[in-house]
Chains A and B, each alone.
Chain A
Amino acid sequence: MSGANGSQRPDFAAIAQCVPRAAHVLDLGCGDGTLLKYLQQSRGVTGYGVEIDDAKVLACVDNGVHVIQGDLERGLAEFADGSFDFVVLSQTLQAMRNTERIVREMLRVGRAGIVTFPNFGHWKNRLQILRGRMPVSDRLPFEWFDTPNIHLCTIADFERFCAERGIRIVSRTVLSNGRPVKSLPNLLGELAVYHFSG
């Protein structure tokens, strides 16, 4: 298992910046637990990951991360209202069938949420669409027919989604090659990190 350092996934450091020390965190779709381990080590957080895949649950145990095996599409029934400081959904939103429900569940069980997703509005994606093909890139490595990403969105789309539902965006970090993007985020940003609350 590789060590938990911020360079592995460019959104980790941006997520860690939103999370206060010793916060109680729920990481949805936590994979092998690398993010939680990183947050445990860098921010002293406590908490759990939720993961459906057997092999990843096993990897979490190897990584020393507390994991609850379960299907996010069924909601978060195991978790009580307001029981977490932060609920993180890292690069999973675009693969959820019921996008709206999971965001509502995040705000039910947590006081704040962090969502990261690949920005479909990035110029490389737009260019590939202009050429008449579905985008395939480092961030979106799948072909249209085998992609788990069924709900891709742009930065503008997500912000409208939040505005229409009264979800308050606390902060936003947009990244390209792991570095913050200052101007034209919806065109130049590869990855968006949103910190929001109800």
Chain B
Amino acid sequence: MSSEHAHTASVGVVRPQTARFSEPLTLRGGMVLRGYELVYETYGRLNADRSNAVLVCHALNASHHVAGYYEDDPDNTGWWDNMIGPGKPLDTDRFFVIGVNNLGGCHGSTGPSSINPDTGRPWGGDFPVVTVEDWVDAQARLADQLGITRFAAVMGGSLGAMQALAWAIRYPDRLRHSIVIACAPNLSAQNIAFNEVARQAIITDPDFHGGAYQLQGTAPKRGLRVARMVGHITYLSDDEMASKFGRQLKHGRLGYSFDTEFQIESYLRHQGNKFADYFDANTYLRITKALDYFDPAFACGGDLSAALKDVTAGMLVVSFTTDWRFSPERSREIVRALLDNRARVTYAEIDAPHGHDAFLLEDPRYHRLVAAYFRRIAAETQA
């Protein structure tokens, strides 16, 4: 999408804000964060009875910059700008939308590149491993600070969807609806395997220095590059890759060398380079761990229905037919467990060719469905 088009129904110029928390947060892994900051953005207006707030949770590489653009950087459009804005499926004329950079992130919230108050130096590899539940707990404190006792909805795709699901489990009284897109109730062995390849690429990069690379004035960019390349393979469907790149050659002939020859190689390298320039390796390691650890059924002996028994939120679960990373079958596991609990669940399986990435793209069937669901929420909350 061109930035010009994006701006036509955009929330416009946005400004990130910082929330500070001095109450210690005990993490799942046992460590206690004495204090921390979360960077967030808001769009639309909180209504008088504070009933129209929607929290949008981000996935692996994204941030609090969900919609709109920055005054000094108009091309930096929010990562879900096609979904959120005036008249868009999540309509900012009706809802007050919050995007937040998660704990351990590298876009301004407290994370591995922040200063550890105990040492006066960057946390680096000493920053604790954080989980989806830790993120959700921190988001709940942000909601407290903003005076929001109950969200109209919490919404996310992929890892963001896991947060939306965790919200429905952990804070059933604090959300009316949970919108869970391209999700899985836990990672498969194959999913974990891809994450481990990514982590090993980073950790074995000589520039990693046990995570203390900032002190060395360097960064494990080669590892991060490979990690991102592996990730990108899993975000696209085989068909999408075939139609986008096929066996197309960059220079029209074979070079019998190890330069980029096929277009797909060029694409992956480009994505890897771009990513390594802005993303922090320690954050990447932690986010892949959060993915691996997410497994609400684990505490209930593998019984997902038992794990979801306290869910009272209305649930919209959406999957995409060509998503092989988190396939529709994985979403149906969530649906099945919700049905066992007679939860208020709607499930849609969108026939889209784009694989896992489909949740970020503008597909009319997908967007119409989300828009219809939000109209329902608006009717309920008089938003």
**Contact between chains at B348 and A57 (CB < 8 Å):** yes
- Beyond known contacts A64-B376, A78-B332, A78-B335: 20 more, CB 8 A cutoff: A46-B342, A48-B339, A54-B350, A57-B369, A58-B365, A58-B368, A60-B346, A62-B376, A66-B345, A67-B346, A67-B347, A68-B335, A68-B345, A68-B347, A70-B347, A70-B349, A79-B336, A80-B340, A83-B339, A83-B340
**Contact between chains at A80 and B339 (CB < 8 Å):** yes
Q: Does A24 contact B (CB under 8 A)?
A: yes
Tell me how many residue pairs across A and B have CB atoms closer than 8 Å: 53
**Contact between chains at A62 and B372 (CB < 8 Å):** yes
CA distance A62 to B349 in the complex (A): 17
Choose among B339, B351, B372 the residue that contacts A58 (Cβ–Cβ < 8 A).
Answer: B372
Q: Does A149 contact B (CB under 8 A)?
A: no
- Chain A's interface size range is 20 to 34
Q: Does B375 contact A (CB under 8 A)?
A: yes
Q: Does B324 contact A (CB under 8 A)?
A: no
Q: Does A61 contact B (CB under 8 A)?
A: yes
Residues of chain A within 8 A (CB-CB) of B351 are 54
- The interface on chain B, measured as residues whose beta carbon lies within 8 A of the other chain's beta carbons, has a size of 21
CA distance A57 to B335 in the complex (A): 15
Q: Does B235 contact A (CB under 8 A)?
A: no
Q: Does A176 contact B (CB under 8 A)?
A: no
CA distance A54 to B368 in the complex (A): 10
Q: Return 29 A-B CB contacts under 8 Å, by A number.
A: A24-B342, A48-B339, A48-B345, A54-B350, A54-B351, A57-B348, A58-B365, A58-B368, A58-B369, A60-B346, A61-B369, A61-B372, A62-B372, A62-B376, A66-B344, A66-B346, A67-B348, A68-B346, A68-B347, A77-B336, A78-B335, A78-B336, A79-B336, A79-B339, A80-B336, A80-B339, A80-B340, A83-B339, A83-B340
Q: Does B373 contact A (CB under 8 A)?
A: yes
Residues of chain B within 8 A (CB-CB) of A61 are 346, 369, 372-373, 376
Q: Does A69 contact B (CB under 8 A)?
A: yes
Residues of chain A within 8 A (CB-CB) of B376 are 61-62, 64
Residues of chain A within 8 A (CB-CB) of B375 are 62
**Contact between chains at B349 and A69 (CB < 8 Å):** yes
CA distance A78 to B339 in the complex (A): 8
Interface residues of A in 48-103 (CB under 8 A from B): 48, 54, 57-58, 60-62, 64, 66-70, 77-80, 83
Q: Shortest distance in angstroms between B342's beta carbon and chain A's nearest beta carbon?
A: 7
CA distance A97 to B340 in the complex (A): 28
A interface footprint on B339-367 (CB within 8 Å = 1, 0 otherwise): 11010111111110000000000000100
CA distance A60 to B345 in the complex (A): 12
Residues of chain A within 8 A (CB-CB) of B349 are 69-70
Q: Among the interface residues B335, B348, B351, B368, which one has the most CB atoms of the partner chain A within 10 A? A: B348
CA distance A58 to B364 in the complex (A): 11
Nearest 6 pairs of A and B residues by beta carbon: A61-B372, A68-B347, A69-B349, A78-B336, A69-B348, A54-B365
Residues of chain A within 8 A (CB-CB) of B372 are 58, 61-62
CA distance A46 to B373 in the complex (A): 18
Residues of chain A within 8 A (CB-CB) of B342 are 24, 46
Residue of A nearest to B364 (CB): A54
Residue of B nearest to A109 (CB): B339
Residues of chain B within 8 A (CB-CB) of A48 are 339, 345
Residues of chain A within 8 A (CB-CB) of B340 are 80, 83
CA distance A48 to B351 in the complex (A): 21
Residues of chain B within 8 A (CB-CB) of A68 are 335, 339, 345-347
Interface residues of B in 319-343 (CB under 8 A from A): 332, 335-336, 339-340, 342
CA distance A79 to B350 in the complex (A): 20
**Contact between chains at B347 and A69 (CB < 8 Å):** yes
Q: Shortest distance in angstroms between A29's beta carbon and chain B's nearest beta carbon?
A: 16
Q: Among the interface residues A68, A79, A83, which one has the most CB atoms of the partner chain B within 10 A? A: A68
Q: Shortest distance in angstroms between B343's beta carbon and chain A's nearest beta carbon?
A: 9
Residues of chain A within 8 A (CB-CB) of B339 are 48, 68, 78-80, 83
Residue of B nearest to A71 (CB): B349
Q: Shortest distance in angstroms between A185's beta carbon and chain B's nearest beta carbon?
A: 36
Residue of B nearest to A49 (CB): B346
Q: Shortest distance in angstroms between A4's beta carbon and chain B's nearest beta carbon?
A: 16
CA distance A67 to B345 in the complex (A): 7
Q: Shortest distance in angstroms between B208's beta carbon and chain A's nearest beta carbon?
A: 45
CA distance A79 to B345 in the complex (A): 13
CA distance A77 to B333 in the complex (A): 10
Residues of chain A within 8 A (CB-CB) of B369 are 57-58, 61
Residues of chain B within 8 A (CB-CB) of A24 are 342
